[in-house]
Structure 1
Amino acid sequence: MISVGDLRAGMTFEKDGKLIKVLDASHHKPGKGNTVMRMKLKDLRSGATTETTMRPDEKVKKAHIDTKDVQYLYIQDDVATFMDLTTYEQYEIPVEVIKEELKFLLDNMEVSIQFYESEVVGVSLPTTVILTVAETQPSIKGATVSGSGKPAVMETGLVVSVPDFIETGEKLEINTSNGDYVRRAK
């Protein structure tokens, strides 16, 4: 058991039969009353995210999540398929559960999948990924890095705000935690 006040982003716990990952957690002291934890949570089984408040002294059961390195293969019939690189065992995850992560995945990319006991519950991405710009407005002559930016559609369908000088076909480094442009890929 762990106190809600000790939960941090990235931790996982069980409550009411649900497996929940903390996306964001912060202490909040309203003008009157007791301190509460404001939390953004994701149900790992359904993929649903919610925002809630909980008492910091409330107890929840901490869930131990194991990971395994795999290769992303393909999507078929709303199921994403991954393969263990050592045993060649294949794992299937419903697209609905990992729809945000799929915006950063390319065929044959190596990632980690997360297990709770024997159940596959998610995908762990690298900090950044290299994606190619599939579509964007033409670059503007004399554009600087500090410009307002423009939207670019990446090869996975992810839409990223990029500097005005970026052109279609360029490879960019993208942060997987927030979907932001980092820099041109080397």
Structure 2
Amino acid sequence: MPKINGNEIRPGYIIEHDGGLWAAVKVNHVKPGKGGAFAQVELKNLRDGRKLNERFRSEDKVEQVRLDTKDQQFLYESDGKLIFMDNITFEQTELDADLLGDRRPFLQDGMVATMEYYGDEALSVRLPQKVICRIVETEPVVKGQTAANSFKPAILDNGVRIMIPPFIGAGEDIVVNTELFEYSERA
């Protein structure tokens, strides 16, 4: 695996640090008035979800890890485990449902998601960026409420609350961005 300097760490990089695999969530480059520059990095453990703030100087060497990715189809959830299937080999993989966190409601039956592997160990799953959801409940349209940035609250069929434009009503399908939890467009 390639070694990189501590100041080359970018958000999204996976590094091996303190005997674990960590994803760089936020990186802030600091140049104090006295002393050398460093990168203040917020790391998230890929195995147990712990967070860590660490300083890396330019002379520090860290190992960057490349994860293998495979597209797999979501089958079902059982006892807090998500079951996915490889569409080519038909092998099934289990992942903790906690790994998805807030994005769990957007996982739909039959959805194809991208699994990330370190060797043979499944570490995480990435959902498609855009998912189609149905609006179950929202406020009725108020005549004259056409201001450019006016939004109203809505509840989706998966129970998630988001803000939508005023011209969309209950029963309509919309496209939701799963990373930002925002309305994207009509379906």
Distance 2:138 2:53 in 1: 34
Calculate the aligned-residue CA RMSD, in Å: 2.2
1:69 aligns with 2:88: no
Structure 1 unaligned spans of 5+: none
Contact 1:140–1:165 (8 Å) recurs in 2: no
Partner SS for 1:97: helix
Query: Hey, what does 1:55 align to over in structure 2?
Result: 57
CA offsets 1:113-166 (integer angstroms, 9 cap, x no match): 110111100012223222222333333333336233223232333332222232
TM-score norm. by structure 2 comes to 0.85
Contact 1:71–1:82 (8 Å) recurs in 2: yes
Of the three residues 107, 122, 129, the one matched with 1:105 is: 107
CA offsets 1:50-105 (integer angstroms, 9 cap, x no match): 45543343222111200111111221111111111112111100112222342321
Query: Hey, what does 2:14 align to over in structure 1?
Result: 12
Query: Hey, what does 1:124 align to over in structure 2?
Result: 126
TM-score norm. by structure 1 comes to 0.86
Structure 2 unaligned spans of 5+: none
CA offset at residue 36 of structure 1?
2.8
If you compute each CA radius of gyration, which structure gives the higher value, 1 or 2?
2
CA offset at residue 40 of structure 1?
3.2
Query: Hey, what does 2:91 align to over in structure 1?
Result: 89
Distance 1:16 1:86 in 2: 36
Query: Hey, what does 1:150 align to over in structure 2?
Result: 152
Contact 1:46–1:96 (8 Å) recurs in 2: no
**Amino acid aligned to 1:129:** V
Distance 1:50 1:176 in 2: 25
Instruction: Give aligned pairs, total.
Output: 185
Contact 1:125–1:176 (8 Å) recurs in 2: yes
Distance 1:82 1:19 in 2: 22
Identity in percent: 37
